[in-house]
Structure 1
């Protein structure tokens, strides 16, 4: 117990301008909005020129596709979609930030794939805007190694 207290005391406070909580909240809100097809909420957090590289490594050959914002926001959703997130890593250097977080993707309660969500953000006019949101799509046998959640998130249910 004493070692826990010493460790807590020895962790320095975040430096001035550290905005990692707001950065992570932005990415989480966008992912939640995308799961339910709420294009208006999601669009508010993206820079207009945002791109979406998708790395699909589920087959024998890895495929890379890059979509634009309109293509992502117009995606047709069928079934109940859930994307629980693992433990995120958030980096920030001034007005530039990066979020890296494992996820698993479920449709109607069945895990489809897992991977890493990766977002690059810049601070513009006091707001964090996503300029790139990339993700990998991996086969189910890689989920544990990635740290992807093992169960769907019951408190984030989409229609």
Structure 2
């Protein structure tokens, strides 16, 4: 009986410390923005899949909607360049995560601040894949706008 109690206790204790897939996905996404605030691209790269893509749905001045494709390496260089007195801070306002086995998507509305001053808002869509090293971001698509932001 004592052995059974010990096994049950250890099982419950382990389950309470283990993160759910949803918590792991949130942690990977949050690591990107923690790295961005710190200008730490090493932190960001830890959660990016090597062939990760970065795209934006943008509206031109004439109102035409286009898909802008950016190289992740260029974005990382920009994030990693510390500008004295400048802090970039993307604040996620919620998460809507859908998981199917080893694939997930996360819809994350955000507000973007430069030195605590509101700059723009939008939505990120993260496409994720579960690997033996955790949940990795395989793609990011975002929108950006200055109007119709709920603050």
Normalization by structure 2: what TM-score? 0.76
Question: Could you tell me which of 68, 86, 103 is aligned with 2:93?
Answer: 86
- Residue 36 of structure 2 contacts residue 89 of structure 2 at CA under 8 Å; is this kept in 1? no
Larger Rg: 2
Extract unaligned runs of 5+ from structure 2. 1-18
Please tell me whether residue 143 in structure 1 is matched to residue 149 in structure 2.
yes
Listed as ranges, the matches of 1:1-159 within 5 Å are 19-57=21-59, 59=61, 60-75=63-78, 76=81, 78=83, 79-139=86-146, 141-144=147-150, 150=151
Deviation track 1:71-101 (CA, whole Å, cap 9, x = no partner) reads: 1110145412211111110111110011111
- Residue 128 of structure 2 contacts residue 137 of structure 2 at CA under 8 Å; is this kept in 1? yes
Structure with higher helix content: 2
Runs (4 or more) in structure 1 with deviation over 3 Å come to 57-63
- Residue 50 of structure 1 contacts residue 68 of structure 1 at CA under 8 Å; is this kept in 2? no
Extract unaligned runs of 5+ from structure 1. 1-16, 145-149, 151-159
Structure with higher strand content: 2
- Residue 55 of structure 1 contacts residue 135 of structure 1 at CA under 8 Å; is this kept in 2? yes
Alignment RMSD (CA, Å): 2.0
Equivalent residues, number: 128
> For residues 62 and 143 of structure 1, what CA distance do their matches in structure 2 show?
19
Aligned to 1:7: none
